[in-house]
């Protein structure tokens, strides 16, 4: 666990991340789907001797939280009268989100995905009518192709975690948490580029300033943790994690400032811990999560989130491949968890 080293002034946030902007984002998301479930985990509550709740982003229209940000960004483009297609770069879930938003509005969508992208997510993107283009291994390589393509075709580039409207959409997760559980004391959030963590941080500042944010990141894709430690944006030369949803390998000045200035603590995880958490969720709670979606639960299982008050863990997505599910089924819970 690493303590936060940075300061942060919410007065410098762009309008989309101020109170009115968050309200607008919430209304956009509500027009498409209801608040996702917030359910108490009896197994985790018993194990940790505190009230543990799971925010299930696994049941959104694309089975991941990313749809929120894409919907808000697309709605803003419509309101501004900005025409054209949508272009993004994504390991999968953000691509699904932009494809879904584009389909709702009748806009063509092009998604640049890694060469070894999650097959489940790629199939979903194609099913939504988007054009999928493969190439590159890292987010930096993908965006290096996607941004020029957007400029050449007159399409709108939709950044997966730096756009204020996208972050505002992700912030609606935090708003829903506080509305459903006002007494929450901590929210545990998996982090890649930091868009979800930044959004929830902003929503907590506005709705529950006494509630702490705990960020979780993979050791093989720890750009945010390194950036906070060095107080500058760090871009990794390579990433190595099964959690493709947490693997952009970089952050931005915006997400670094918000997360670095608001997170109570930060947790670094190893891949094998994700499979244990996925098995625990499936066996004890009958909840299917992809590796990145189980990261928050993995942090709790390791004992990295001390406290006594109600804690919420965001289960960010369920788009798991059959290969990863096979690993989960072959994973045994340690004795300390098997008896719960």
Residue 3: the pLDDT is 43
Which CATH number describes the domain made up of 67-157? 3.40.50.1100
DSSP secondary structure letter of residue 129: T
User: Once rounded to an integer, what is the mean pLDDT over residues 122-129?
Assistant: 98
How many other CB atoms sit within 10 Å of the CB of residue 304? Answer: 17
pTM for the whole structure = 0.96
pLDDT band at 5 (very low <50, low <70, confident <90, very high): very low
| Mean predicted lDDT score pLDDT of the chain | 96
pLDDT band at 6 (very low <50, low <70, confident <90, very high): low
Say if residues 52 and 41 touch (Cβ distance below 8 Å).
Answer: yes
Token pair of 309 as six digits: 């008050």
pLDDT at 340 over 60: yes
Alpha-carbon distance of 123 to 181, in angstroms, equals 36
Q: What is the pLDDT of residues 45-103, one digit of tens each?
A: 999 999 999 999 999 999 999 999 999 999 999 999 999 999 999 989 999 999 999 99
The architecture CATH gives domain 2-65+164-338: 3-Layer(aba) Sandwich (3.40)
Token pair of 299 as six digits: 């942090």
Token pair of 212 as six digits: 């702490």
Helix 223-230 vs helix 253-262: angle between axes, to the nearest 10 degrees?
80
Domain boundaries, the chain: 2-65+164-338, 67-157
Q: What is the pLDDT of residues 126-174, one digit of tens each?
A: 999 999 999 888 899 999 999 999 999 999 999 999 999 999 999 999 9
Fold agreement (2-65+164-338, 67-157)? yes
pLDDT at 243 over 80: yes
Q: What is the pLDDT of residues 290-325, one digit of tens each?
A: 999 999 999 999 999 999 999 999 999 999 999 999
Residues 6+ apart with CB under 8 A from 105: 74, 78
User: Once rounded to an integer, what is the mean pLDDT over residues 18-32?
Assistant: 98
Residue 338: the pLDDT is 73
Residue 335: the pLDDT is 83
Alpha-carbon distance of 217 to 221, in angstroms, equals 7
Do strands 2-3 and 263-269 pair parallel, antiparallel, or not at all (unpaired)?
antiparallel
How many other CB atoms sit within 10 Å of the CB of residue 19? Answer: 13
Alpha-carbon distance of 266 to 144, in angstroms, equals 29
Residue 1: the pLDDT is 42
Residue 133: the pLDDT is 97
């Amino acid at each position: 666990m690493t303590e936060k080293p940075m300061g942060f002034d919410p007065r410098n946030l762009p309008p989309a991340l101020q109170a009115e902007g968050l309200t607008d984002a919430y209304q956009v998301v509500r027009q498409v789907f209801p608040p996702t479930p917030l359910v108490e985990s009896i197994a985790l509550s018993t194990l940790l001797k505190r009230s543990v709740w799971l925010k299930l982003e696994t049941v959104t229209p694309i089975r991941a939280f990313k749809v929120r940000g894409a919907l808000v960004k697309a709605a803003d483009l419509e309101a501004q009268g900005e025409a054209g297609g949508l272009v993004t770069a994504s390991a999968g879930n953000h691509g699904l989100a932009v494809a879904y938003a584009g389909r709702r509005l009748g806009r063509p969508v092009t998604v640049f995905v890694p060469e070894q992208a999650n097959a489940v997510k790629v199939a979903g993107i194609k099913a939504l009518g988007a054009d999928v283009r493969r190439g590159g291994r890292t987010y930096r390589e993908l965006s290096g192709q996607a941004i020029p393509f957007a400029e050449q075709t007159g399409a709108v580039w939709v950044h997966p975690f730096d756009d204020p409207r996208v972050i505002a959409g992700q912030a609606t997760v935090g708003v829903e948490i506080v509305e459903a559980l006002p007494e929450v004391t901590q929210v545990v959030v998996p982090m890649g580029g930091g868009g979800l963590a930044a959004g929830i941080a902003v929503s907590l500042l506005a709705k529950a300033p006494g509630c702490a944010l705990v960020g979780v990141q993979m050791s093989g894709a720890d750009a945010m943790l390194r950036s906070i430690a060095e107080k500058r944006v760090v871009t990794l030369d390579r990433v190595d994690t099964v959690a493709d949803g947490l693997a952009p390998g970089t952050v931005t000045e915006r997400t670094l400032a918000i997360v670095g200035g608001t997170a109570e603590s930060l947790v670094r995880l190893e891949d094998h811990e994700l499979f244990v958490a996925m098995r625990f969720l499936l066996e004890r709670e009958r909840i299917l999560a992809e590796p990145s979606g189980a990261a928050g639960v993995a942090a709790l299982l390791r004992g990295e989130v001390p406290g006594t008050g109600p804690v919420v863990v965001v289960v960010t997505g369920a788009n798991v491949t059959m290969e990863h599910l096979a690993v989960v089924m072959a994973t045994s819970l340690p004795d300390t968890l098997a008896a719960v």
